[in-house]
Structure 1
Amino acid sequence: MVLTSAELGHRVAQARQRAGLTQIELSQAIGVHRSVLAKMENGNRRLTALELAEVADAVGERIEWFVQEVPPAIVSHRNVTDPGEPSPRIDTEVERRARDVEFVARNDSGFRDRVRRPPEHPMPENGEEADELAERARVLLGADPEGPLCDLGRTVVRAGLLPFVIDLGTDAADAASVLLETGAVAVVNGDRRVGRRRLSLAHELGHLLVADEYTVDWRIDGSSSRDSREQLMDRFARSLLLPDASLREAWRTWAGHEDDSLRAATVRTASRFRVDMSTLARRLAELGLVSGAQAAQVRMTRTTRADIVQYDLVNADELAESQLPREYEAAVLRLFTSERISEERAVDLLMGTWSTADLPELPRLNESAIWQFVS
């Protein structure tokens, strides 16, 4: 793709705004006068390759961001609540992951065969339909129809959803997802606790199943003012993680003993299904298993170290930042070992979770072999 000066300049301006820089700040960073940068951004002066590299370094983008098309779903839906303002950080992270996944999919047939989007399902119109969609999702994932969903990060890949966990901070969105030709990408905010991360990923799976092209979810399950579509996706996520029959059985078992308190039943149930207390409280209330006052007590409960020992609770972490989808890692390694990408490109695609020392050793290439690379 060949960009005009105006198109390239527009992308420079976009990148500068996303980085929160003024024209003066960026011009100083790349060593030109502000008026020169202004001409670059409005298309009256074309950037040299060196200047473009300096701009990319200053704004924290790869050069390919300036010269390759962005996935259409991201373009059409980015920052719709605040047009013209710098995109939230999660937009940037989703776009980067989408570009990397699309690159790997284009160049590795095994990845394309393994990671595919599921058939589109109709959007639920009420709570019962959201529960039914969750039941179908469990079948699609090959999961126990009623048991806890463990290792959710690996399980959702069976539906074509590739999760990437990134610490975006307390003020950023919970999660976002985007549909691609090959599967979909979800970014989950690693700042959240594990139960919240699992709920966020389950929520993004719901968006994939109903084929929402691009979604940013700022506070999942967090407000009664959320629109009905998002509330139904919340319901889907709760139902996926806390299926009706097994939740009822567990709750009645642990809450029905005279020597067992509401608190004990709460910490044991939350541990079994690996959910946060807010999610458990909402699900128990919508199934009529607790009163409003009891739901409030469940929501305020915190699991202690003594609880973990006393009740032999599950204390497993999931969706850690350092973990990438295994299918994605395997595809990158195939590209590297087949000498289709360089060592530097492999480490870049592995997003800082691998070093060059972690990669398998390859025989040295002669000079003519450089043309085999696609990166």
Structure 2
Amino acid sequence: MTVSDSVSMGRRIAEARSRSGLTQADLASAISLDRSVLAKIENGGRRVSALELARIATTLGERIEWFVMETPPAIVSHRNLEEPGAESPTIDRAIERVAFNVEFASQRDERWVTRSIDTLPRPRNSDEAEASSVTARSLLKLDDVAPLVDVARTFSDLGLLVFAFDLGRDAADAASVLLDRGGVAVVNGHLHVGRRRLAAAHELGHFLFADEYSVDWRVSDWGDDNAWEARLDRFARALLLPATGLTRMWADLEARGDDLRAKCVKVGSAFRVDMSTLARRLVEIGMIAQSEGRQVRAIRTTRADIVEFNLIVPDDLAAPYLPRPYEESVLRIYRHEMVSPARATDLLFDTWSEEDLPVLPNLPESAIWNLV
């Protein structure tokens, strides 16, 4: 659906300008427009021309379709409550673009399938967060021992499509939004792989507990165990490090005579988590003391460890990453000539070039009658 009235368009422009930190005078000067004219545009008293809109989009670093397409309802409802992206406008723009593109593809792809699952009740404490992780692992067809290997592929089976883009060190860890069918998440690919996986697991929590729209600034930094985000973080750690599987492997390594460092390096590799996440998990399920937790956080896996311990070197959600079901959907609508090559590469976030797209067969002249 497109934005057609001047008031809505003006509101979009004002919101994007505010988010970029520019004043009306700044933006008006940058696009060679009088400030009073820009004020009228933002108030809905004057229509904006296509050329003016293009200049505004370029100056504010937005895509034109953001101004002319309806924002997904979940994002609208969030914005009616509070200013979005105050902490990380970069990821805020990224999740909006992902939501737009996924909705665009899903509405045109007859084969788009999103599994329908019942949302889980929100955990009220740490014990319920642990129990929710067990339920989630069951939905993901995982037992209480096996590591969660490919988070993006596994989560897509539940309807959550996870994308990863390098948004820089100052952007938030992750963001997610519920759509009419399923949901989408964006993980900051600038993070180390362990943090990327934790952020994705955290967003799965938002998805399963039906949080409409979320931007997580620094996953794993929540200090209050009674806070909602801290409970989500507990859920994410338990999802990646199931207590049964973790204690079993830890006991086996201890029986072999491995010291603390060797155990941590091997367990971290097997379950594909960073040392900070592993330390918190070991402490919270009572396997090590707080003092040992500080030692674990300081451990760094070396190249020698990888060779001598024959470790797995994971690369989940290495940026840029697009979920395979989404790529397949874009290719289907391209093959049906619903989008141009340029639009297809745009939907693929410019991670593909036009040369990467399949060659479409030439249609016979008689095919014109199908269109008529």
Offset at residue 63 of structure 1 (A):
2.4
Q: Does structure 2 conserve the Cα–Cα contact (< 8 Å) formed by 1:133 and 1:236?
A: yes
Worse-superposed segment, 209-218 or 46-55: 46-55
Report the counterpart of residue 8 of structure 1 in structure 2: 9
Report the counterpart of residue 327 of structure 1 in structure 2: 325
Report the counterpart of residue 197 of structure 2 in structure 1: 198
What code does the residue aligned with 1:334 have?
R
- Partner Cα distance (1:252, 1:70) in 2: 51
Report the counterpart of residue 40 of structure 1 in structure 2: 41
Report the counterpart of residue 98 of structure 2 in structure 1: 97
Alpha-carbon displacement from aligned partner over 1:169-219 (angstroms, at most 9, x marks no partner): 222211111100111111111111000100110011111111111111112
Task: Tell me the SS of whatever aligns to 1:159.
Answer: coil
What code does the residue aligned with 1:273 have?
F
What code does the residue aligned with 1:68 have?
M
Q: How do residues 310-321 of structure 1 correspond to structure 2 at under 5 angstroms?
A: 310-321=308-319
Offset at residue 80 of structure 1 (A):
5.8
Worse-superposed segment, 1-10 or 176-185: 1-10
Offset at residue 44 of structure 1 (A):
2.5
- TM-score normalised by structure 1 residue count: 0.91
Alpha-carbon displacement from aligned partner over 1:338-366 (angstroms, at most 9, x marks no partner): 11111111000000110000001124579
Percent identity, aligned pairs only, is 53
- Partner Cα distance (2:307, 2:56) in 1: 54
- Partner Cα distance (1:173, 1:202) in 2: 15
- Partner Cα distance (1:256, 1:297) in 2: 21
Offset at residue 116 of structure 1 (A):
3.2
Q: How do residues 96-135 of structure 1 correspond to structure 2 at under 5 angstroms?
A: 96-111=97-112, 113=113, 115-135=114-134
1:302 to 1:239, Cα distance in 2 relative to 1, 3 A: same
- Partner Cα distance (2:238, 2:164) in 1: 22
- 4+ residue runs over 6 A deviation: none
Q: Does structure 2 conserve the Cα–Cα contact (< 8 Å) formed by 1:188 and 1:197?
A: yes
Alpha-carbon displacement from aligned partner over 1:1-46 (angstroms, at most 9, x marks no partner): 5633222222112122223333333323333223322222222221
- Partner Cα distance (1:335, 1:84) in 2: 32
- Partner Cα distance (2:352, 2:171) in 1: 26
What code does the residue aligned with 1:170 have?
R
Report the counterpart of residue 292 of structure 2 in structure 1: 294
What code does the residue aligned with 2:339 have?
I
Report the counterpart of residue 55 of structure 1 in structure 2: 56
- Partner Cα distance (1:26, 1:313) in 2: 53
Task: Tell me the SS of whatever aligns to 2:111.
Answer: helix
Q: Does structure 2 conserve the Cα–Cα contact (< 8 Å) formed by 1:153 and 1:319?
A: yes
- Partner Cα distance (1:84, 1:9) in 2: 19
Report the counterpart of residue 65 of structure 1 in structure 2: 66
Offset at residue 337 of structure 1 (A):
0.4
Q: Does structure 2 conserve the Cα–Cα contact (< 8 Å) formed by 1:52 and 1:63?
A: yes
Q: How do residues 210-221 of structure 1 correspond to structure 2 at under 5 angstroms?
A: 210-221=209-220
Alpha-carbon displacement from aligned partner over 1:116-148 (angstroms, at most 9, x marks no partner): 342111011222222221112122112344211
Report the counterpart of residue 176 of structure 2 in structure 1: 177
What code does the residue aligned with 2:327 have?
E
Task: Tell me the SS of whatever aligns to 2:249.
Answer: helix
| 1:283 equivalent among 271, 281, 284 | 281
Task: Tell me the SS of whatever aligns to 2:220.
Answer: coil
- Partner Cα distance (1:195, 1:335) in 2: 34
- Partner Cα distance (1:158, 1:346) in 2: 24
What code does the residue aligned with 1:55 have?
I
Worse-superposed segment, 264-273 or 216-225: 216-225
Aligned length: 367
Q: Does structure 2 conserve the Cα–Cα contact (< 8 Å) formed by 1:165 and 1:321?
A: yes
Alpha-carbon displacement from aligned partner over 1:209-256 (angstroms, at most 9, x marks no partner): 111111111121213137521111111111111111111011112234
What code does the residue aligned with 1:126 have?
N
Task: Tell me the SS of whatever aligns to 1:225.
Answer: coil
- Partner Cα distance (2:237, 2:3) in 1: 47
1:182 to 1:323, Cα distance in 2 relative to 1, 3 A: same
